[in-house]
């Protein structure tokens, strides 16, 4: 590099560091304010996959190169993650898929888990009416699982919205091959398995498969999963219903029965994925489309966006205490409504139309003072008209034709219930904890949930998953995004959207920028390590906010933006994790 090139490179770096559009990253109380560069988004002319795992992203790209569309690619990615990202990728869990076709049609596929028929309101309470802990409770063991929906959801998506060029068996094949032939264990996966060794070691089958019999997997070691490969082979030969009615279903039901689980063969046979109508709003003229109940994500996101639309965030500044204050107050009010009103709309009345109405947001906004913080004791659920683990994972796919998938799915807690069903290689979910096992008592995320989300047979637990599309003012797709993170999912998506629209960040900058989180109760702001200047911290405290004493990183967002003018796909995988976007 010559002197002239060196000078201009240093000049560009300097300009970025002082640019108002550059994100303020990882600056904590007690540290000086500094701006850190975000890597540039991945670029591709035709198709792009943004996920938490490099291998899975490349599986999706390969499907598109062979003529598949975004839905085909998403199915292959979902199954590949069940092998390479076992903390959340799954066959034994469920989730939500948002699909937007090139002609503008948009739909939502709900493949959330369902409670077994034997479940009931007090199934996780002991004789004193207290929540059961450990085995027999809603977090660990055979009784913690809802009936998995992932396989049925992928089948529904393929039948209705696949390209027709690739078969079910072809889309399952990359995952089967990864399970049978193995893949090199990454540094992150090796660390994750070790970190969860105590719980994964509780069950012999799980210990044998995921902990290498107690010897652990080292970085670079090839991990083969023959039982899981056999399950994929049966699904290839006999179709998706094999999982729910064939040998795989019988193996699951037999193992559940042998260990006192709730799930039966009839529960598996009765599972159904559903297509639902997305929820929508506009934010500063841009249309936002997201997931309806039983996910709370879309409605709560829209309620917060509607509140924030009345504040001039751009003039406040991306990292200003005023922005964080306004966001916190919007989060507080929307999460109070979440606790009161949200549940499975097939079972209870959820006033979605009222919650996402802009006039309702205006009423809530009038109760926000910019000179002092509210308290969650004084902020209760409002009166609208008609009145998840953080080890979820999200991926986004855009194909050459402009079809897009935004998909979030999970086992709930990292590695779900920690139970592998004998003979299947399938790690099961612990989604029953996403019900209000005891309404009014916090779940594993500290969320308070009401009677609308109480346990009931065949009911779907409430979720925070928020796969979302944002359209340009001409109605074309601008970007799609989603994240894991339990209740922080909704606030992660909120902040990515406002980072782009209010602060002109590109998709990678918007994903990498520091985040805050407030969920009504407990009444505190959670922030990220090095993510807030000391002055901002003190300013928020002076307004009356309480900030957590234990900052932590939140979310693992993955998004794709369509570059204006060129149509280039810009892929962003969160720098907080090991993900990687891939395109062609």
List the structure tokens of 146.
């809802």
What whole-number distance in Å separates Cα of residue 86 and Cα of residue 69?
25
4 domain residue, yes or no: no
3-state secondary structure of 534: helix
Q: Are residues 380 and 352 in the same domain?
A: yes
60 domain residue, yes or no: yes
Question: Residue 537 maps to which CATH number?
Answer: 1.10.246.130
Q: Where are the extended beta strands (E) located within 411-476? A: 420-421, 426-427, 468-471
Q: Which residue in this structure is represented by tokens 């935004």?
A: 406
Q: Could you report the per-residue pLDDT of 127-155, keeping only the tens digit for each?
A: 898 889 888 899 999 999 999 999 999 99
Indicate the number of domains in the chain: 2
144 domain residue, yes or no: yes
Pairing outcome for strands 558-562 and 477-482? antiparallel
Sheet of 468-471, strands arranged across: 42-44, 569-573, 558-562, 477-482, 468-471, 286-290, 279-283
Instruction: Say how many residues make up the chain.
Output: 584
Q: Could you report the per-residue pLDDT of 217-256, keeping only the tens digit for each?
A: 999 999 999 999 999 999 999 999 999 999 999 999 999 9
- Closest by CA position to 571, among listed 60, 43, 39: 43
Q: Are residues 156 and 237 in the same domain?
A: yes
Q: Which residues of the chain have pLDDT under 50?
A: 1-36, 387
31 domain residue, yes or no: no
Choice among 55, 231, 281, 392 that is catalytic: 392
Q: Which residue in this structure is represented by tokens 């505190």?
A: 524
SS3 annotation, 325-381: HHHHHHHHHHHHHHHHHCCCCCCCCCCHHHHCCHHHHHHHHCCCCCCCCCCCCCCCC
Q: Which residue in this structure is represented by tokens 């200003």?
A: 320
Domain hosting 261: range is 43-275+397-437
Q: Are residues 165 and 207 in the same domain?
A: yes
Strand partners, 288: 281, 470
3-state secondary structure of 476: coil
DSSP state of 553: -
What is the per-residue pLDDT for 365?
98
Q: Are residues 74 and 167 in the same domain?
A: yes
Q: Are residues 328 and 408 in the same domain?
A: no
DSSP H or E run through 171 = helix 168-181
Q: Are residues 265 and 135 in the same domain?
A: yes
Q: Are residues 185 and 237 in the same domain?
A: yes
Q: Are residues 254 and 378 in the same domain?
A: no
DSSP H or E run through 481 = strand 477-482
482 domain residue, yes or no: yes
519 domain residue, yes or no: yes
Q: Are residues 269 and 281 in the same domain?
A: no
What is the per-residue pLDDT for 449?
64
Query: Which residues touch 460 (CB under 8 Å, ≥6 apart)?
Result: 110, 112, 113, 114, 115, 146, 294, 344, 346
Q: Are residues 253 and 142 in the same domain?
A: yes
Q: Are residues 417 and 488 in the same domain?
A: no
392 included as an active-site residue: yes
14 domain residue, yes or no: no
Q: Are residues 316 and 249 in the same domain?
A: no
21 domain residue, yes or no: no
């Amino acid at each position: 590099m010559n002197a002239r090139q060196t000078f201009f490179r240093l000049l560009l770096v300097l300009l970025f560091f002082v640019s108002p559009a550059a994100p303020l990253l990882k600056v904590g109380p007690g540290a000086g304010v500094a701006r850190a560069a975000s890597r540039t988004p991945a670029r591709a002319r035709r198709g792009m996959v943004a996920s938490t795992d490099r291998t899975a992203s490349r599986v999706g790209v390969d499907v598109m190169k062979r003529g598949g569309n975004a839905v085909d690619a998403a199915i292959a990615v979902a199954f590949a993650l069940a092998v390479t990202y076992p903390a959340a990728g799954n066959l034994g869990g469920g989730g939500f898929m948002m699909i937007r076709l090139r002609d503008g049609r948009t739909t939502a596929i709900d493949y959330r888990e369902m409670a077994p028929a034997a479940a009931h309101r007090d199934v996780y309470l002991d004789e004193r009416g207290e929540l059961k802990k450990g085995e027999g409770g809603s977090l660990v063991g055979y009784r913690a699982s809802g009936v998995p929906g992932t396989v049925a959801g992928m089948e529904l998506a393929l039948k209705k919205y696949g390209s027709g060029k690739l078969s079910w068996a072809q889309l399952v094949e990359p995952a089967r091959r990864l399970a049978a032939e193995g893949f090199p264990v990454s540094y992150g996966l090796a660390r994750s398995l070790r970190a969860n060794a105590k719980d994964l070691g509780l069950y012999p089958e799980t210990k044998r498969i995921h902990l290498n019999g107690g010897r652990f997997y080292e970085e670079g070691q090839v991990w083969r999963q023959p039982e899981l490969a056999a399950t994929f082979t049966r699904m290839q030969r006999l179709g998706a219903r094999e999982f729910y009615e064939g040998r795989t279903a019988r193996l699951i039901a037999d193992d559940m029965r042998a260990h006192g689980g709730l799930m039966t063969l009839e529960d598996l046979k009765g599972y159904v994925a559903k297509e639902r109508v997305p929820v929508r709003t506009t934010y500063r003229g841009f249309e936002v489309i997201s997931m309806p109940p039983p996910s709370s994500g879309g409605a709560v996101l829209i309620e917060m966006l509607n509140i924030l639309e009345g504040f001039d965030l751009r003039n406040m500044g991306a990292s200003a205490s005023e922005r964080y204050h306004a966001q916190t107050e919007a989060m507080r009010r929307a999460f109070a409504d979440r606790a009161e009103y949200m549940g499975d709309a097939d079972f209870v009345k959820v006033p979605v139309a009222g919650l996402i109405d802009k006039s309702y947001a205006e009423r809530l906004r009038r109760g926000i003072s910019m000179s002092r913080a509210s308290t969650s004791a004084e902020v209760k659920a409002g009166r609208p008209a008609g009145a998840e683990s953080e080890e979820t994972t999200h991926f986004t796919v855009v194909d050459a034709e402009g079809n897009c998938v935004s998909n979030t799915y999970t086992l709930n807690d990292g590695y779900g219930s920690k139970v592998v069903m004998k003979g299947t290689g399938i790690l099961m979910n612990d989604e029953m904890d996403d019900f209000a096992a005891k309404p009014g008592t916090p779940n594993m995320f500290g969320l308070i949930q009401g009677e609308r989300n109480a346990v009931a047979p065949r009911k779907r637990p409430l979720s925070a998953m928020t796969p979302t599309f944002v359209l340009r003012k001409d109605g074309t797709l601008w970007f799609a995004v989603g994240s894991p993170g339990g209740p922080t999912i909704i606030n992660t998506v909120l902040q990515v959207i406002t980072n782009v629209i209010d602060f002109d960040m590109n998709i990678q900058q918007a994903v990498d920028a520091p985040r805050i989180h407030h969920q009504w109760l407990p009444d505190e702001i959670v922030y990220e390590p090095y993510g807030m200047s000391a002055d901002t911290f003190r300013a928020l405290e002076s307004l009356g906010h309480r900030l957590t004493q234990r900052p932590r990183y939140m979310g693992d967002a993955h998004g794709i933006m369509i570059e204006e003018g060129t149509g280039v796909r810009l892929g962003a995988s969160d720098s907080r994790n090991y993900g990687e976007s891939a395109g062609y």
